[in-house]
Structure 1
Amino acid sequence: MAKTQGQPAIKKSAKRGMSFNSRTYFYDLPETPTKVISDLTNTKPAIATSVGHGLKTGDAVWVESIENDAINGYYLVSVSNEDSFALMTLDGEDIGTVTDAKFTTVKRYSFCDATSVKIAAIKTKAIDATTICDEGAVTELEKEPGTISLSGLWVPDKEVQDFLEEMAEELETIFFTLKPKGSKYMRGYQVKITSLDWDGKSGDKWQFSIELQINGRSRKLDMTTGAK
């Protein structure tokens, strides 16, 4: 059917983005690591050798070393075989030789209570770096810790909430992961809880808000192939 002259064209709407639906977890503080890493390669990412490790791709582990405490922290793993796995974002080119590394798996809490998540993974601020020898103003960028904000519905006495309250009081570093539905990537962040608030009204549902400060580099894992 021909379009009548002067008749406005019909535009098709295009829906962008994707609905907010994610698998979200918090991870508990580890016990003393007992599983030995016999070798840690100087590659990016570093490959750990641990015979019969029992891990699967997407697991979170805590790694610890006395020789080089710079590697201490939470990592997502990409499993190569039953005796080796990659520690995502650990740059083995910078760590030198580490012979005493150990790891442990950590307790995972599912967290489906959030109705909104805001992640400011990278934040910078401008600082005045002008010296007396500069003819004009000199500005440099300085990196600041990123932040994560969560808000949603709060159901009292859930185990994960007891854990979050305890970690907030003790100012401990914990681990948070997020995998949006439809995304192949799982992202992990070492965080500290900077605020945890409840808000309720009579006859209404409890609301909560949690503010997290990101501690160190984020972890990123391709769940379909393993990050390279």
Structure 2
Amino acid sequence: MGVVNNLGATLSTSDTHPIGDSGLSFLMFSLDAAEKGFGSSTLKDQGYHFANIPMKLRLIKTGDTPNGEVIPAGQIASFNAGTLQLVKFLLSNSTTITAPSCQTKDINVKMGQYKLNDFPNDGSPSKRTVPFSIEIYNCPAGINKVMYSLIPSSSSPVWNTTQGIIKLNQSSTAKGIGLQIIDDQLTPIILDQPKLLSQYSADGGNFTIPLNARYLKIPDDPSIVPGTANAEMTFVMSYL
């Protein structure tokens, strides 16, 4: 006697039943006992009966769960004695697994025009900073923490990780300068490192990350060549 899994492999020695490649499995319980899970062909005939006995189905995470994975409605399993189906277990509605996440949009920061004398000779950043914000919205309730990080792109590789400086992209005609990202306290953002979104509340909602961008002379280059100065990076959020 035992469970036959309609959504994945029927394992002969386990009461945990995988649901396809969803990263989820189900456990099936009879509430007339101490919530012992029903396994696959592991029970002997000990006078079990199912009339008027409540059943419980528990989903557990057993692997990576793809966002948007669907557990279909219909029969998910049966409890068989040999080839005889004693009980069928069905889901009345399909279930879609969604990862809790916030939303954001691409941001285009217009840096404006600069003169050569806007860049100090000692290689320190330009005195001109351009404020911008990353808007985070539609955060669901229940997320404990939100982390964010800025990741240099292959088109604008990192020049100094701890100082938040990336190089201009290859289509830029300017030479000798880089772009630095700093927070609202003018502290450099460490690149490729998660940073806690301190404004976040477990109630969810909309939030703003205030940042600044500024150019600076890269010491490795002997001089600055005027021209277009563009760069890109990726904004990544993670959730705990």
TM-score normalised by the shorter chain: which range applies? under 0.3
With the length of structure 1 as denominator, give the TM-score of the two structures.
0.22
Q: Relative contact order (C-alpha < 8 Å, sep 6+): which is higher? A: 1
Q: What is the TM-score with the length of structure 2 in the denominator?
A: 0.21
- Select the structure that is richer in helix: 1
Greater C-alpha Rg: 2
